[in-house]
């Protein structure tokens, strides 16, 4: 499905080649150009980008559910972003801002901090940005939520053209063209304002090539504006050919002229909607390996952001979904069939924010890295690490030579670009200093990661005035009326709740709802052991994972785990599982040897809902039979794309299948889900979107002639 996308993958970013002048300003030796104007860069930013896009006048008109999207080509040290963020804060609009920026040669957080030092008025914002700024060596999308989610920053570390293509492909702007007759046009949350920035066209022509503006046009609507500091002829022509109408005005300071304007017309607007996509589309879709459209939904002219939502399931997935929707102004009814939150797999005392990390370049390892980085940022920025756990670091032990190689690689890569890297390789002899006890092997230490109490986290996430929790509420059926309203009903038809949209977060029990019954998941039983701490284990001040895992003791108890039982479904605690957990800890460190009486040892049993490809299932729910009918052609010719969008229940979404990684996967997966629900540009790579997509199994099964 996404093989070709993998060719586009780069294992690490390109480092910036720069020097610093006497004022502490960066200068690119590669492009032989300044990052900022040497006179008054902030005034220029405001003059060119903020004023000419008319932001201060446009923002007060936003409704509380609208997102204003700014897209910038060239993040540099983030001055444009900080100036925009500061203006947003002082304007206090009721909506949200999503700022997307591309950077091929990302500075690291120390360099960003140094460059922004020149503007003391931004000290607080700069500090927040730098604290959450991603490792500069990690390519791809990085999403950062600020101001309680009211401001979002998506950084793409890599080539701007590739990043823009990803946005177009993931979002389905193609929808605008292929289904023009039913396109949602201006209601879709495309880009509202473009900042065409970067080193000058003469010094870095690649960021000003015509395809950049063609892609920008595909993400634009009739109210979209743009501004750029240059008025170079080649740029003007490219902008005009892409469908933007420009005006030339005197530039800032000594610069003679600059351009700004609006998006006038989609360059493909004249295309017959019944015909196949244009050559331009075909070529970059082909190049990116995303030639299919099954993941896209047919646009709906009635599309409105939801005001109300039902979330079914009060575990990590449901709590994250409810939280994210509430922050977007949606009134949520959370239905949980148990008498309280976090009753299923999310009921442990401690869980590690953990994924299997490697640079091996397969889609799962890329998702793991993106999810790990986002989860740690998310739990920090919302203070969950202080209220529901501890970000005291996690040591990933090298449990085999192959894993050691992978983990060392990550540590070395990050150490080579960041002076204070998030990931550090720790030799075996140094592990005691890193985590408090000496471990059997070295490992990769993630300094800003940690453990969380999932029960407390579910409570904290759902503690919001827009969330109503209904317990003892078993949603056995879902129905939609002619107006599109969803109803959750009990087995005997009693109405539990109604809302504009429904998000199913019931782990493997999604199988009991008719609309999601076919989703392939199986339960894997697991048991954690509650071990009383002892003199040596009390020295543990960070979490360790290897064959098993353990976190620093809370109230004298370590919650250590976890066993894997594939074909068992008993909820009873088992002595052999306790022994399994204890043996694993002993193999990780002599200091983590425990000898409790197994017969009375406490613990917890749960079931991990696991998918065949280990990705969770997150996104819109396909209408199975219609999907199979529409894409029946794949049974005969799997490789020939069928240029049609998929049939999906309008307003029905699912977020399940988190396996052993609920704490690390739910933040990013939920963020992507909300971007889908609101039609916003995605904060994740297209390949990840397709790997999370609920319809992926139907598509694969059709192409393999299994259904």
Ligand X SMILES: Cc1cc2nc3c(=O)[nH]c(=O)nc-3n(C[C@H](O)[C@H](O)[C@H](O)COP(=O)(O)OP(=O)(O)OC[C@H]3O[C@@H](n4cnc5c(N)ncnc54)[C@H](O)[C@@H]3O)c2cc1C
CA distance 272 to 355: 46
Q: Does 509 bind ligand X (CB under 6 A)?
A: yes
Q: Does 227 bind ligand X (CB under 6 A)?
A: no
Q: Does 345 bind ligand X (CB under 6 A)?
A: yes
Work out which of 78, 344, 411, 442 binds ligand X, going by CB under 6 A: 344
Residue-wise burial string across 498-524, b where 16 or more C-beta atoms lie within 10 A, e elsewhere: bbbbbbbbbbbbbbebebbeebebebb
Q: Which is nearer to ligand X, 176 or 558 (CB)?
A: 558
Per DSSP, the three-state class of 691 is helix
Q: Which is nearer to ligand X, 219 or 663 (CB)?
A: 663
Minimum CB separation of residue 146 from ligand X in Å reads 24
Q: Does 550 bind ligand X (CB under 6 A)?
A: no
Residues β-bridged to residue 619: 654
CA distance 256 to 123: 32
Minimum CB separation of residue 554 from ligand X in Å reads 14
Q: Does 499 bind ligand X (CB under 6 A)?
A: no
Q: Which residues in the 513-532 window bind ligand X by CB under 6 A?
A: 526-528
Question: Nearest 5°: CA angle at 298, between 519 and 620?
Answer: 25
Residues β-bridged to residue 559: 530
Q: How many helices (H) and strands (E) does the chain have?
A: 22, 31
Q: Does 474 bind ligand X (CB under 6 A)?
A: yes
Q: Which is nearer to ligand X, 561 or 679 (CB)?
A: 561
CA distance 580 to 560: 11
Tell the burial category of 639 from Cβ atoms under 10 Å away from its Cβ (0-12, 13-18, 19+). Answer: exposed
Q: Which is nearer to ligand X, 242 or 544 (CB)?
A: 544
Contact range with ligand X by CB under 6 A, out of 84-92, 107-115, 500-508, 577-585: 500-508
> Are the CB atoms for 135 and 417 separated by under 8 Å?
yes
Work out which of 76, 95, 261, 561 binds ligand X, going by CB under 6 A: 561
Q: Which is nearer to ligand X, 320 or 696 (CB)?
A: 320
> Are the CB atoms for 211 and 241 separated by under 8 Å?
no
Q: How many residues bind ligand X (CB under 6 A)?
A: 44
Q: Which is nearer to ligand X, 16 or 552 (CB)?
A: 552
Minimum CB separation of residue 665 from ligand X in Å reads 7
Work out which of 467, 475, 544, 617 binds ligand X, going by CB under 6 A: 475
CA distance 327 to 149: 7
In Å, what is the CA distance from 460 to each residue of 382, 454, 504? 10, 10, 20
Q: Which is nearer to ligand X, 396 or 608 (CB)?
A: 608
Q: Does 652 bind ligand X (CB under 6 A)?
A: no
Tokens representing 222 are 């009739």
Q: Which is nearer to ligand X, 281 or 382 (CB)?
A: 382
Work out which of 76, 134, 641, 662 binds ligand X, going by CB under 6 A: 662
CA distance 142 to 157: 8
Minimum CB separation of residue 409 from ligand X in Å reads 24
Q: Which is nearer to ligand X, 8 or 390 (CB)?
A: 390
Contact range with ligand X by CB under 6 A, out of 156-164, 194-202, 503-511, 590-598: 503-511
Question: Nearest 5°: CA angle at 692, between 137 and 675?
Answer: 80
Tell the burial category of 585 from Cβ atoms under 10 Å away from its Cβ (0-12, 13-18, 19+). Answer: buried
Q: Which is nearer to ligand X, 14 or 474 (CB)?
A: 474
Q: H-helix or E-strand containing 688?
A: helix 686-692
Binding mask 382-401 for ligand X (x = CB under 6 A): --------------------
Q: Which is nearer to ligand X, 527 or 584 (CB)?
A: 527
Work out which of 382, 661, 691, 693 binds ligand X, going by CB under 6 A: 661
Residues β-bridged to residue 226: 194, 261
Per DSSP, the three-state class of 142 is strand
Q: Does 316 bind ligand X (CB under 6 A)?
A: yes
The neighbour count for residue 187, using CB atoms within 10 Å, is 16
Q: Which residues in the 576-615 window bind ligand X by CB under 6 A?
A: 606-608
Q: Which is nearer to ligand X, 177 or 461 (CB)?
A: 461
Q: Which is nearer to ligand X, 174 or 692 (CB)?
A: 692
CA distance 144 to 151: 9
Residue-wise burial string across 231-242, b where 16 or more C-beta atoms lie within 10 A, e elsewhere: bbeebbebbeeb
Q: Which is nearer to ligand X, 170 or 609 (CB)?
A: 609
Work out which of 358, 506, 516, 523 binds ligand X, going by CB under 6 A: 506
Pairing between β-strand 549-550 and β-strand 543-545 as defined by DSSP bridges = antiparallel
Q: Which is nearer to ligand X, 495 or 636 (CB)?
A: 495
Contact range with ligand X by CB under 6 A, out of 132-140, 180-188, 341-349, 690-698: 341-349
Q: Does 317 bind ligand X (CB under 6 A)?
A: yes
Q: Does 619 bind ligand X (CB under 6 A)?
A: no
Q: Which residues in the 435-454 window bind ligand X by CB under 6 A?
A: 454
Work out which of 134, 198, 313, 679 binds ligand X, going by CB under 6 A: 313
> Are the CB atoms for 324 and 317 separated by under 8 Å?
no
Residue closest to 665 by CA, chosen among 446, 454, 459, 415: 454
Minimum CB separation of residue 512 from ligand X in Å reads 6
Q: Determine if the peptide bond prior to 562 is cis (ω within 30°).
A: yes
Contact range with ligand X by CB under 6 A, out of 288-296, 300-308, 378-386, 468-476: 468-476
Minimum CB separation of residue 646 from ligand X in Å reads 24
> Are the CB atoms for 240 and 267 separated by under 8 Å?
no
> Are the CB atoms for 201 and 238 separated by under 8 Å?
no
Q: Which is nearer to ligand X, 152 or 473 (CB)?
A: 473
In Å, what is the CA distance from 642 to each residue of 278, 283, 635? 15, 16, 11
Residue closest to 453 by CA, chosen among 373, 530, 563: 530
Binding mask 14-53 for ligand X (x = CB under 6 A): ----------------------------------------
Q: What is the DSSP string of 262-323?
A: EE---TTTTS-TTSPPPHHHHHHHHHTT----TTSBPP-TT----SEEEEE--SHHHHHHHH
Contact range with ligand X by CB under 6 A, out of 190-198, 274-282, 336-344, 533-541: 336-344
Q: Does 656 bind ligand X (CB under 6 A)?
A: yes
**Which spans of this chain sit near ligand X (rule: CB under 6 A)?**
312-318, 335-338, 343-346, 348, 351-352, 354, 454, 473-475, 505-507, 509, 526-528, 549, 561-562, 606-608, 656, 658-664
């Amino acid at each position: 499905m996404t093989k070709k996308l993998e060719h586009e993958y780069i294992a690490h970013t390109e480092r910036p080649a720069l020097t610093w002048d006497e004022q502490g300003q960066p200068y690119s030796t590669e492009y032989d150009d300044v990052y900022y104007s040497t006179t008054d860069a902030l005034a220029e930013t405001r003059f060119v980008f903020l004023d000419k896009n008319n932001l201060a006048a446009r923002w007060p008109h936003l409704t509380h559910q609208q997102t204003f999207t700014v897209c910038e080509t060239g993040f540099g040290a983030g001055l444009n972003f900080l100036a925009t963020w500061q203006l947003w804060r002082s304007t206090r609009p009721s909506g949200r801002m999503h700022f997307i920026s591309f950077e091929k040669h990302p500075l690291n957080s120390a360099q960003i901090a140094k460059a922004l030092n020149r503007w003391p008025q931004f000290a607080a914002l700069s500090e927040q940005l730098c604290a959450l700024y991603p490792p500069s060596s990690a390519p791809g999308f990085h999403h950062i939520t600020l101001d309680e989610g009211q401001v979002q920053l998506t950084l793409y570390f890599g080539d701007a053209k590739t990043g823009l293509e990803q946005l177009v492909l993931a979002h389905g702007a193609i929808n605008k063209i292929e289904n023009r007759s039913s396109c949602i046009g201006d209601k879709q949350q495309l880009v509202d304002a473009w900042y065409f920035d970067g080193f000058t066209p003469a010094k870095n022509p690649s960021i000003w090539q015509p395809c950049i503006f063609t892609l920008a046009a595909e993400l634009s609507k009739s109210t979209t504006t743009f501004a750029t500091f240059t008025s170079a002829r080649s740029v003007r022509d490219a902008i005009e050919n892409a469908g933007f109408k420009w005006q030339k005005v005197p530039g800032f300071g000594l610069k003679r002229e600059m351009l700004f304007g609006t998006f006038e017309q989609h360059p493909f607007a004249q295309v017959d909607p019944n015909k196949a996509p244009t050559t331009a589309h075909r070529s970059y879709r082909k190049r990116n390996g995303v030639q299919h459209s099954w993941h896209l939904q047919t646009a709906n002219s009635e599309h409105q952001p939801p005001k109300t939502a039902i979330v079914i399931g009060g575990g990590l997935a449901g709590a994250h979904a409810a939280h994210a929707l509430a922050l977007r102004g949606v009134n949520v009814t959370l239905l949980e069939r148990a008498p309280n939150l976090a009753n299923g797999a999310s009921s442990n005392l401690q869980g590690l924010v953990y994924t299997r990390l490697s640079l091996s370049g397969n889609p799962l390892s890329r998702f793991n890295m993106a999810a790990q980085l986002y989860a740690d940022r998310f739990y920090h920025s919302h203070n969950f690490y202080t209220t529901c756990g501890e970000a005291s670091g996690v040591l990933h032990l090298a449990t085999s030579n192959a894993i050691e190689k992978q983990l060392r690689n990550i540590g070395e890569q990050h150490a080579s670009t960041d002076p204070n890297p998030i990931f550090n390789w720790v030799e075996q002899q140094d592990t005691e200093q890193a985590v408090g006890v000496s471990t059997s092997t070295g490992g990769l230490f993630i300094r800003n990661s940690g453990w969380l109490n999932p029960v407390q986290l579910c409570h904290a996430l759902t503690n919001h005035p827009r969330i109503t929790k209904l317990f003892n509420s078993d949603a056995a059926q879902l129905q939609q009326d002619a107006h599109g309203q969803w109803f959750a009903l009990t087995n005997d038809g009693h109405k539990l709740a109604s809302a504009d949209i429904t998000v199913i977060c019931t782990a493997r029990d999604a199988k009991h709802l008719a609309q999601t019954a076919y989703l392939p998941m199986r339960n894997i039983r697991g048991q954690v052991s509650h071990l009383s701490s002892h003199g040596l284990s009390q020295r543990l001040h960070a979490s360790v994972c290897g064959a098993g895992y353990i976190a620093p003791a809370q109230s004298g108890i370590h919650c250590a785990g976890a066993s894997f039982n594939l074909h068992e479904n008993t909820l009873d605690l088992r002595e052999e599982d306790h022994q399994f957990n204890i043996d694993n800890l002993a193999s990780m460190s002599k200091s983590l040897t425990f000898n409790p009486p197994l017969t009375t040892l406490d613990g917890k049993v749960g079931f991990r809902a696991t998918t065949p490809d280990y990705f969770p299932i997150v996104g819109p729910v396909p209408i199975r039979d219609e999907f199979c009918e529409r894409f029946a052609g794949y049974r005969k010719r799997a490789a020939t794309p069928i240029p049609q969008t998929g049939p999906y229940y309008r307003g029905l979404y699912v977020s399940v299948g988190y396996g052993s990684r609920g704490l690390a996967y739910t933040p990013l997966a939920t963020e992507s889900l909300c971007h889908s629900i609101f039609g916003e540009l995605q904060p994740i790579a297209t390949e990840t979107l397709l790997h999370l997509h609920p319809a992926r199994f139907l598509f694969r099964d059709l192409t393999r002639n299994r259904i």
